[in-house]
Amino acid sequence: MRKIIASLFISLDGVVEAPDQWHFPYFNDEMGAAVDATFSAADTLLLGRKTYDSFAGAWPEREAAGGEDAGFAKKLGDARKIVVSRQDLSFTWRNSEQLKGGLVDAVTALKGEPGGDIAMSGSVSVVRELLAHGLLDELHLLVHPTALRKGMRLFDEGESAVPLRLLSSTTFSTGVLNLVYALAEATGDATYEDAKTHLPQNEE
């Protein structure tokens, strides 16, 4: 079954909004390699409408310009791009289509199709819903060493916790942490009485 992998730039206090306004000072070769790795095994992009509009407004022009990022722009253009939206959409960027049907059923069916991984970038509301329904296989968080103190956060208030399991962690020279998580089983109940047995014990 195909994996869905979501990658997000995130601040130390959990903000994911408008990363173009704060993350570029931390972008170096290490981060570029991490971003490229997310897309290298993917032949499909799953995007929310706002993220798609942002991508479609920039990457086709960058591909046409033939600059140093043209290769990555072509990779995005060649990928199948599926856009999640409740509105009827029309597209000018090649290989773009709208997700048909309800998100959960449609994404479940998409994961069962033959093909490579399905990559996501941004698209926070879609990421939240896929996490809630257990459909996201990996969550890649590039945690920047800055507290923005305002803006939309990845995890909003809700009824249920989202337990995660750390798959890998890498520290970049900029101080950015590249954390890769998968969904985990609920941790169960515990109290201070359970935890205190792990504290250092006084020796008499």
- Determine the pLDDT at residue 40: 83
Token output for 185 = 């089983």
Please report the DSSP string for 9-77 in residue order: EEETT-B-S-GGGTSGGG--HHHHHHHHHHHHTEEEEEEEHHHHHHHHTTHHHHHHHT-TTHHHHHHHH
Q: Does a structural domain hold residue 113?
A: yes
Split into its structural domains, the chain has a count of: 1
Q: Does a structural domain hold residue 139?
A: yes
Q: Does a structural domain hold residue 196?
A: no
Strands 4-11 and 117-121 come out as: parallel
- Determine the pLDDT at residue 203: 63
Q: Does a structural domain hold residue 88?
A: yes
Diameter of the chain measured on Cα atoms:
76
Q: Does a structural domain hold residue 71?
A: yes
Q: Does a structural domain hold residue 198?
A: no
Q: Does a structural domain hold residue 194?
A: no
pLDDT of the chain, 204 residues: tens digit per residue: 899 999 999 999 999 999 999 999 999 999 999 999 888 889 999 999 999 999 999 999 999 999 999 999 999 999 999 999 998 899 999 999 999 999 999 999 999 999 999 999 989 999 999 999 999 999 999 999 999 999 999 998 876 888 999 999 999 999 999 999 999 987 778 888 888 888 887 665
CA 131 to chain CA centroid, Å, is 11
The helix or strand, by DSSP H or E, that contains position 152, with its residue range, turns out to be none
- Determine the pLDDT at residue 204: 56
Radius of gyration of the chain (CA): 19
Domain CATH for 172:
3.40.430.10
Q: Which domain holds residue 131?
A: 4-186
How far is Cα 103 from Cα 83, in angstroms, rounded to an integer? 11
Q: Does a structural domain hold residue 92?
A: yes
